[in-house]
Structure 1
Amino acid sequence: MPPKGASTAVQPIRLQSVTRLKIRHPDKQEPNPCLGPMSAMLNCWAAGAAAGGCGHLEKALRDCMDGPKQPPGDKSTINHHLARLYPNISGPKKRKS
């Protein structure tokens, strides 16, 4: 309940105007495929296993590192489309006189 003498009219909320829409990091980075074999090899070494015990993990990591590199993924076009469609969303601009 409002205090005595105060208006009960609902005040509209004014939001800041946005000059342009933009997604900060539209492209997600894929994890390195050699991360698993490297982690397994380092854990094997940390456990104190003999060099022969970790040989298969070293070979798996070497095969992964020597293999072909993955091609980079397609870049996201979301920011291009947001910039292109923003004038249709925001409506006409006010003229400065």
Structure 2
Amino acid sequence: MAIHIKKLKVRPRKNATTNMCGPQLATMLGCWAASGDLHSNNACAEAAQTLFQCMRTTPLPKKMHKPTINYHLARLGKNIQ
């Protein structure tokens, strides 16, 4: 039994990204926008320190590699034709 599928395209699921230090980044950018000067270290030093601390202590998410359906289709495509 042979199966032939013409022009089959399947898009992989898009995983929701987690922005772990997003609130701290938004606070710092808001401070910069409110102060109007990106070079004044005194006005936004606390917001910058909070962001740096978050970035230092937050672990990176582990990447789990799962082959996508497109990978399997390409691999099995030789046998399907």
Q: State the TM-score, normalizing by the size of structure 2.
A: 0.50
Q: State the TM-score, normalizing by the size of structure 1.
A: 0.44
| Structure with larger Rg | 1
Q: Relative contact order, CA 8 A, sep 6+: which one is greater?
A: 2
